[in-house]
Amino acid sequence: MIEYDELLDDAFKRNLPVTAAYPRAPSSVAMRKIAKKLLKLQIPETDVLSKFKRAWKKAWEDRKMEERYLKRISALLKKPKPPPS
């Protein structure tokens, strides 16, 4: 957890990373601890290409379905109204 400290606020106001402006600040120390933990994580490889292809296919199918829906609505709006009885 990164707790608030005044040096963090000061670095933000100066548009500087707190880790660069105040490397020994409590917030800087906490951020470095978190970064070290993240860097040690073992993240399994994923098949990004197949996931992208699946997402692209779904988006294409959704678009085709939307086009069919719009054509039906357009056709319904173009039909003449029956005369009142």
Delimit the domains of the chain by residue range: 6-40, 45-80
The pLDDT assigned to 38 comes to 93
Q: What is the pTM (predicted TM-score) of this model?
A: 0.49
39, containing H or E segment: helix 26-40
Mean pLDDT of the chain: 88
Residue 72 has pLDDT above 90, yes or no: no
Per-residue pLDDT at 3 exceeds 90: no
In the predicted model, what is the mean pLDDT of residues 26-49?
A: 90
Q: Using the CB atoms, write b or e for 47-63: b if 16+ within 10 Å.
A: eeeeeeeeeeeeeeeee
More confident residue, 48 or 27: 27
